[in-house]
Amino acid sequence: KIVIPSNILAFITACVVGIGGTGVYYVLNSIEFNVINIVCMILMGLATSLGAMVGYDKVIQTITQIKGI
């Protein structure tokens, strides 16, 4: 059985959503895929994953505090 830490899973999922969402936006708006746009897609994936990791940590912290009460 493979156990993936939840933070890593949140990171991977957010990267896929960020990169995929940006790619879909480019396709729907007929924006060509060049080097600069691909770099922007990767940066969007990293930014989305950073937000997801911070948000995930806050959710876990809140649940832990509620359990402690």
Per-residue pLDDT of the chain (69 residues), as tens digits, is 888 777 788 888 999 999 999 999 999 999 999 999 999 999 999 999 888 888 777 777 778 878 876
Which pLDDT value is given to residue 8?
81
Cα separation, 37 vs 28, whole angstroms: 14
Among 19, 69, 27, smallest CA distance to 44 is for 19
What pLDDT does residue 69 have?
67
Question: What's residue 28's pLDDT?
Answer: 97
Rounded CA separation 9/17 (Å): 12
Please state, as a whole number, how many other Cβ atoms lie within 10 Å of the Cβ of residue 23. 17
- What are the tokens at 15? 């990267």
Residue 22 buriedness (CB in 10 A; 0-12 / 13-18 / 19+): buried
